[in-house]
A and B are shown apart, each in its own frame.
Chain A
Amino acid sequence: MRQEYVMGNGAIALGALVAGVNVVSGYPGTPSSEIIETIAKHSNKDVHVEWSVNEKAALEVAASGAYAGARTLVTMKQVGLNVAADPLMSLAYVGVKGGMVIVSADDPGPISSQTEQDTRAFAEFARIPVFDPSSPEEAYEMIQDAFDYSEKYQTPVLFRPTTRVCHAYASIEVPEEYKVKEYEGFVKDSGKWVIFPRLSYMNHAKIEKRNVEIGEDFSNYRFNTVEVKDDKASKKAVITSGISYAYTKEFLQYHKDVKLIRIATAHPFPESFLLEALEGVDEVLCIEELSPYIEGQVLRIAGKHHLSLKVYGKLTGHVPASGENNANMVEGVICRFIGMKVCKGLEREEKPALPVRPPVLCAGCPHRASFYAVKKAMKGKKSYFCGDIGCYTLGNAMPLDMVDTCLCMGAGITMAQGFHWVDKEGTCFAFVGDSTFFASGMTGVVNAVYNNADMILCVLDNSTTAMTGHQPHPGTGLNMMGQFVDKVSIPKVLEGIGVKKIVTVNPLDLNAAIKAVEECAALDGVKAIIFKSPCIAIEKSDKKAAISDKCIQCKKCIKEIGCPALCVTDGKVTIDTNLCTGCGLCSQICPVNAIGGGSNE
């Protein structure tokens, strides 16, 4: 055994390897991405690990692996679970043979997501178990338990860490090597593996009965815990879960006269456990993030068993209904609950106004050039700019202001079509990254061609999945098994779908890029422009732009593109050479040719 200091996501990955996982698939999404990366780094070639094209594909790959008796792991962020919902809902009815764990990382805040949805509620909806770790150390243990329960009850199980667990670091003890599970292989049985209404009806009844058993089993689960000082009967209890347990513990370690109940398995709910834990308690405070899931269960159980119990939480306004919790907030709500004075923070003099630092596209990012080219070409013409999920969502920032909509993965392509149907005069653009194009953009293009839409698809191809940490994808020619594979060509895909006009252009060649947009805007039907230039965070450049004394201080470069490397120092335009990559975009904008030294020279 050896100690590893790892991120929560790393702990989940290593726990899965200890559990003998055979197949691992997923799609990148903050805060879940490092799970697959850690598996790829630590496993030997006995484990198949892949970035699948999207979450639905990932779940299906893992499902058949589990049908064959292998242990399989699927990873995604919470919105990815929506994409995987179709196979998951049906798989819940069919069941599995080998252990199958679906990690869906929730993002209270939200810090880097579109929604504050709650995977625990999703587990109830799908009628499958869910595990909710409160620390990296616990996640390491609990993911191993999750595989065991999945196999014991032959059902896929959900595992939902939240951002603060995924991105926290802790030390765990891991074995020197990992052994994969030996499995039987797929045994054909169409009465079991082929879903039909009759099978679903029969299995539904079994599932409901089984869930009661799992609830009983979970009542003895080691991570559903009660902590109380000196067996002193406390009339007040805090019920909590996940990271909120850590926040509660941070305060209650010094104030132990409140009973601390932690629910690590929200569904099927460990009812007997809770009933026992609530003995002698007449007031409870539920502290959890996202939905008031446990609070709802406590109310249900209190009603069912006619408990005389006051239940406080999100539903009563005692805990904030949205956003993420933190140690100070939790301390405050507990103090009010137990009638303690809320400890006020240190009173310091009021802070001066702080500079705002919104996230921006990196200096030299080719997306900036792509957006700028479209903006220039369409100046004064009515246009719709549909954005998508990725770094390029940041194209919405001033001064570019080139993203009118952003909804979910791949939506920009189909939304551009919708705008066309309600306004035939406007030109409809969809901006999509290369990874998003493969994940869920292609079907949208088929929809456009089939329905005779009029739109311009702009694929911002930087040859990586940049926002989530540079994962490879089908267009990069590399996979997670470390193999070099044939690149899936975006222009050929578009050609195959039937897009008649496809232009590939380097966005950093501003005039050529503008010309490509103008050319496409003059045509009817579905057109595509592939703005191809590598992500600046991968293809490092030593080039730097330089400003000569020809500069007339008009600041056009700054006002037009908002590159972080362009600054004003003592009233003069300067270039921050620590940031500049010499992309040359600013030198093409300068009206007096005062900027040189970039790739344009």
Chain B
Amino acid sequence: MNKNVLICGVGGQGTVLASKLLASAHMRLGNVVHSAETIGMAQRGGSVTSHVRIGNEAHSPLIPLGKADVIMAFEPAEAVRSIDYLKDDGIVIVNSVPVKPTTESLHDTGYDGTVMIEYLKKVCKHLVVVDAGELCASLGSDRYFNVAVLGVLVGTKKLDIDEETVVAEIKERVNARFVETNLKALHIGIETGGKYEVK
């Protein structure tokens, strides 16, 4: 299997944990995995991306444009920013809740994410829009969105990965105090994703 997953968002949204869990879950299944993260200056409120590449045809640590099977976007504009990575028939899973840049408070452009979602609806053959607030409502904090959205991806069955494998990774990699809530987040995500199963 050769699959490419691009995870994008804004520094601080927890994209790195989602990428680590996805990569290690695939390794648990015996796949060759490579990944790459944005580190450094860009983390301070900037756009961040994680590239997860599964299979032995991946040489570049970054996914080439037009080769991503999946884009998991934690923020609407970040999905659009990364859209050139998407394959023609790739799937985009996007959070509709925007993160306004600091500059927005200084110069109001009215950015609220809706234009981005409209654009994605036009250009994506497979689009799953989730609302982080709704998805995480029963979890007490949007902080668990990273694991919930990973659940959505698992639920779509786009990546040949099952719930048990991700559960095992969460138990191994997440701080014990947060395991229970993260498992709940994963489950909620999988249920949501199941509605969008990609045939």
A residues with a Cβ closer than 8 A to B are: 3, 5, 7, 30-31, 111-112, 135, 164-165, 167-171, 243, 246-247, 249-250, 253, 326-328, 331, 345-346, 348-349, 351-362, 391, 394, 398-399, 467-468, 555, 558-559, 562-564, 566-568, 578
Contact = CB atoms under 8 A, between A and B. Distances in A.
Contacts of B77: 354-355
B46 A359 contact: yes
A247 B36 contact: no
A345 B86 CA distance: 10
B100 A355 contact: yes
Given A326-B64, A352-B80, A358 B46 contact: yes
Interface in B75-114: 77, 80-81, 83-84, 86, 88, 100-106, 108-109, 111
Contacts of B115: 352
A472 to B, nearest CB: 19
Given A327-B62, A356-B103, A568-B108, A5 B23 contact: yes
Contacts of A359: 41-46
B90 to A, nearest CB: 10
Contacts of B88: 346
A566 B105 CA distance: 7
B164 to A, nearest CB: 19
Interface stretch (B27-35, B174-182, B188-196): B27-35
Given A5-B24, A346-B66, A352 B10 contact: no
Contact of B106 (A164, A331, A355, A559): A559
Contacts of A562: 102, 105-106
Contacts of A358: 45-46, 101, 103
A171 B33 contact: yes
B104 A567 contact: yes
Contact of A247 (B37, B43, B60): B60
Nearest to B38: A167
B198 interface: no
Contacts of A353: 109
Contacts of B46: 357-359
Nearest to B35: A169
Given A169-B23, A171-B27, A346 B40 contact: no
A345 B65 contact: yes
Contacts of B84: 345-346, 348
B175 to A, nearest CB: 14
Nearest to A34: B39
A518 to B, nearest CB: 28
19 contacts: A7-B37, A112-B40, A135-B59, A168-B35, A169-B33, A250-B59, A326-B64, A327-B65, A351-B80, A351-B83, A352-B115, A355-B111, A357-B10, A360-B102, A468-B40, A562-B102, A564-B102, A566-B105, A568-B104
Contact of A167 (B37, B60, B102, B106): B37
Contacts of A135: 59, 61
B129 to A, nearest CB: 16
Contacts, number: 150
B contact residues, range? 35 or more
Contacts of A250: 58-60, 64
Contacts of B106: 398-399, 558-559, 562
Given A30-B40, A355-B77, A246 B59 contact: yes
Contacts of A349: 119, 122-123
Closest 5 CB pairs of A and B: A168-B61, A327-B64, A112-B40, A359-B44, A30-B40
Contacts of B37: 7, 167, 169
A391 B42 CA distance: 11
Contacts of B27: 3, 5, 171
Nearest to B141: A578
Contact of A357 (B32, B45, B57, B142): B45
Nearest to A398: B106
Contact of A169 (B36, B65, B103): B36
B61 to A, nearest CB: 3
B165 interface: no
A394 B42 CA distance: 12
B60 A567 contact: no
Contacts of B47: 357
Contacts of A564: 45, 102
A570 B44 CA distance: 25
B59 A352 contact: no
A326 B62 contact: yes
B61 A357 contact: no
A187 to B, nearest CB: 43
B121 to A, nearest CB: 11
B152 interface: no
Nearest to A247: B60
Given A345-B84, A362-B44, A564-B45, A357 B105 contact: no
Contact of B62 (A164, A362, A563): A164
A558 B106 CA distance: 7
A171 B44 contact: no
Contacts of B185: none
Contacts of A567: 100, 104-105
A247 B59 contact: yes
B116 interface: yes
Nearest to A254: B57
Contacts of B116: 352
Nearest to A167: B39
A30 B39 CA distance: 8
A246 B61 contact: yes
Contacts of B62: 164, 326-327
Contact of B34 (A30, A31, A169, A467): A169
B105 A558 contact: yes
Contacts of B103: 355-358, 398
Contacts of A112: 40-42
B54 to A, nearest CB: 12
B30 to A, nearest CB: 11
